[in-house]
Chain A
Amino acid sequence: MKRIITATVINQSGVMNRVTGLLMKRQFNIESISVGHTEQAGMSKMTFVVNVEDEGKLEQLLKQLQKQIDVIKVNDITDRAIVMRELALVKVVTPPSVRNEIYSIVEPFRATVVDMSKNITTFQVIGHPEKIEAFIDLMKPYGIKELTSSGVSAFVRETQKSNTEKLSI
């Protein structure tokens, strides 16, 4: 099962290595990982998307992360009301003959053109990972020359539905 986990960590050299090394050592499968500064100086926030077999493995993952000295707080936010965003840059082959057709697909996704050459257009698309995935699938038939994405960043929403269960340690 896919889980979204956030970790607040002390921002010092090697902390990323520590966390990814731990996940590798314990045989956890990371789908995406992103890290960036937070509102607190010296603290960073990591967001992982991981695939775990069952609840037991998930509990181990959370506990092992929490055990790291540089990790302040770990949360599994999958089942909470969250805002989740990812950014992808996609280079698509866009010869003039299909350009209009492609633009009509791009529009509902609110993707923007960030670079252009004679036959290639680079789109930037931001949103829920599922939206990014759908966008990429639609672009595939035209030929994707290059693709890169940021990994998921996520937040818990300020207002939670009352019956959502909190899973954290």
Chain B
Amino acid sequence: MKVTMKVTDVAQQEQQLRGADVLIQSLKQQGVDLIFGYPGGAVLPIYDALHKNPIRHVLARHEQGAIHAAEGYARVSGKTGVVIATSGPGATNLVTGIADAMLDSLPLVIITGQVASSVIGTDAFQEADIVGITQPITKHNYQVKDIQNLPRIIKEAFYIASTGRPGPVVIDIPKDISAEVFKTSGVGDEEVYLPGYQPTRSPNYLQIQKAIQVLSRAKKPLILAGAGILTAKATEELKEFVERYQIPVVNTLLGLGSIEGSHKLFLGMAGMHGTYTANTAICECDVLINIGARFDDRLTGNLAHFAPNAVVIHIDIDPAEIGKNVPTAIPIVADAKDALQALNQTFAGPDTGKWLEGLSDNTEKYPLFYKADKQRGILPQQAIELIHRLTKGDAIVTTDVGQHQMWAAQYYSFNHPHNWVTSGGLGTMGFGFPAAIGAQLAKPNSKVISIVGDAGFQMTLQELSLLQELRLPVKIVILNNRCLGMVRQWQETFYEERYSQSLIHVQPDFVKLAQAYDIQGYKVETMEEAEAVFTEAFNSNEPALIDCRVVQMENVYPMVAPGRGLNEMIGVSGE
């Protein structure tokens, strides 16, 4: 419907509620107090409504920065991140972040502008079929076709994004809808009614009994703890379960923080770059209880060799994950918290003494290791250990993807849940720094350290503008190895050292770059310098960027080569 406005009607029309006002009101009703976004033609009515009825808005310098910041915010706060972008390029710039949030199950509501309904499908200026584009990478998406449906759609979107297995929901709003006058008649406080979406939270009693039976007879039980535990806020329940029954735990990459890194029953991260003890435990266990992880290929390695002796119990709120990759004896569709509470009822725990002894022998014999050498300079592992020591394991750490991410996962031992913000499933370069901005906004009083690579950082460094603008004391530590580290490592290992396009010979002066954004910049090349600079920067209330030069040719170990089983690790100490 086209709105034609007579001049005499202007005053009266301004009193009326428009689609955009309804949107802002509905967002407030959902408790939204922070929006990440970028304006443009198709969202002008929305930004106008936001001007009249403000919600705190963070103006990123690129839509990708906005959505990664929203992801960081969602991961740390547990709340739904909200993003606004305009039609066409604004919306397509969000695609990477949407896919990232989908694979890592982050709750986001993304509002995109769309060209006016009357010209949709005519290849109008800044038109892109964002509903079609995002359909396979969203939990659900909508295009608003009738303004009267807008309040219901927003309610549904938040409900879908934040419940069950969380995920991103896109709402595409044509410009005429956000500008159109809203008729209040006929729209009440509609309840969310989604007959096709009813996530199961409570575990099936019989399945829990079966799991208990299997567990109590187990000799070598093992827990695989994934991000589902963090989403369900079930870390206390996990700890109780682990300690009461003395069952050792391994983590997925995204599950880090679900148990303290220093816990004596924690064996480390498992998978491609997991610890020897964690991977060996998976190979040897007789019962594997997966809580809130999806048996990703980077965790399992070759499925034919994965947990060959184990009866698999899989607890997941998403039934489609159970049995997808690994045959499961006891499927339990449930929220991790509810399931763990049910499992925590007293039963005769297994006798795991011998099993634990063997595992701690492994940890002693084959720990994570690196060969420090003063002549070569800073090893990235040392840099992470230093960050850990200075922040006492209490900081929020964000990363991109690649070598620095794996080293952070291996060497930054987390004391607390919800402090680890990384791009796991999609493996997005350029994620870490904007995510740190979102994380700092979620927890203004926490220390936020963004550990990034020199290449990934350059993909989203435009967001440096936000640090001084919003007075965010984020510390950026660039582990600068002047190459695409993980690509280079694979080329070294699998392509006979043919370093095709992975070495970076020209770089900006990161210190000057920081200064251009009015941020304190540092460059460190020795451990002594690093110790002094990290200490100074971390103790300051100002943002900082540290160009930490690290050894270029260092590799991440141990490693399970692609296509191999977890029993075939290379780069284990003592070899």
Q: How far is the CA of A13 from the CA of B145 in the complex (A)?
A: 10
**A-chain residues with CB within 8 Å of residue B324 when the two chains form the complex:** 60
Among residues of B, the one whose C-beta sits closest to the C-beta of A65 is B320
Q: 0/1 per residue, A105-117, Cβ < 8 Å to B?
A: 0000000000000
Give the residue name and chain of the A residue nearest to B321 (CB): A63
B135 with A21: CB separation less than 8 A: yes
Quick check: B135 and A69 within 8 Å, CB to CB? Answer: no
Instruction: Take A14-B131, A17-B135, A72-B195 as given contacts and tell me if A67 and B320 are in contact as well, using a CB distance cutoff of 8 Å.
Output: yes
B196–A68 contact, CB under 8 A? Answer: yes
Q: Which 9 A-B pairs have CB atoms at the shortest separation, nearest pair first?
A: A63-B320, A69-B140, A72-B196, A69-B197, A25-B136, A71-B196, A67-B320, A69-B196, A72-B195
Binding site for B on A (CB under 8 A): 9-10, 13-14, 17-18, 21-22, 25, 56, 59-60, 63-64, 66-72, 169
Number of A-B residue pairs, CB cutoff 8 Å, is 40
Which residues of the partner chain A approach B135 to less than 8 Å between Cβ atoms? Answer: 14, 17-18, 21
Interface centre among B194, B195, B196 (most CB of A within 10 A): B196
- In the bound complex, residues from chain A placing their C-beta under 8 Å from that of B131 are 14
B323 sits at the interface (CB 8 A): yes
Tell me if B121 is interfacial: C-beta within 8 Å of chain A. no
Apart from A66-B320, A68-B196, 19 more pairs, CB < 8 Å: A14-B131, A14-B135, A14-B143, A17-B132, A22-B136, A25-B136, A59-B323, A60-B320, A60-B323, A63-B319, A63-B320, A67-B318, A67-B319, A67-B320, A69-B139, A69-B194, A69-B196, A72-B195, A169-B319
B160 CB–A CB distance under 8 Å: yes
Bound together, the chains give a CA A68 to CA B197 distance in angstroms of 8
Residues of A within 8 A of B145 (CB): 13
Cβ–Cβ contact B320 & A64, under 8 A: yes
> Which residues of B are interface residues toward A (Cβ below 8 A)?
131-132, 135-136, 139-140, 143, 145, 160, 194-197, 318-320, 323-324, 327
Task: Note all chain A residues with C-beta closer than 8 A to B143.
Answer: 14
Instruction: Kindly provide the distance from the CB of B165 to the nearest chain A CB, expressed in whole angstroms.
Output: 9
Cβ-defined contact, B196 with A10, below 8 A: yes
Q: Which residues of B contact A17 (CB under 8 A)?
A: 132, 135
Contacts of B194 in A (CB 8 A): 69
Q: Provide the bound-state CA to CA distance between A67 and B167, in Å.
A: 12
- Chain A residue at smallest Cβ distance from B196: A72
Give chain A residues whose Cβ lies under 8 Å from the Cβ of B197: 69
Bound-complex Cα distance A66 to B143 (A): 22
Most B CB contacts (10 A, CB to CB) among A21, A63, A69 go to A69
Q: How far is the CA of A169 from the CA of B160 in the complex (A)?
A: 21
CA distance A9 to B197 in the complex (A): 12
What are 16 sample pairs from A and B whose C-beta atoms fall under 8 A apart? Answer: A10-B195, A13-B145, A14-B143, A18-B135, A21-B136, A22-B136, A25-B136, A56-B323, A56-B327, A63-B320, A66-B319, A67-B319, A69-B140, A69-B197, A70-B196, A71-B196
Residues of B within 8 A of A14 (CB): 131, 135, 143
Considering the complex, give the chain A residue whose CB is closest to the CB of B164: A67
Bound: A78/B135 CA distance, A: 29
In the complex, what residues of B have CB within 8 A of residue A25's CB?
136
CA distance A72 to B198 in the complex (A): 10
Distance of A26 from chain B, by nearest CB (Å): 10
A19 to chain B, nearest CB (A): 10
Determine the distance from Cα of A18 to Cα of B195 in the docked complex, in whole angstroms. 17
Residue of B143, B197, B319, B320 ringed by the most chain A CB atoms within 10 A: B320
| B140 to A: closest C-beta gap in Å | 5
> Chain A residue with minimal CB distance to B195?
A72
Which residues of chain A have C-beta atoms less than 8 A from B195's C-beta?
10, 72
CA distance A14 to B140 in the complex (A): 11
Bound: A119/B195 CA distance, A: 54
CB-defined contacts of B320 to chain A, threshold 8 Å = 60, 63-64, 66-67
A67 to B198, CA, bound (A): 9
Q: Which residues of B contact A72 (CB under 8 A)?
A: 195-196
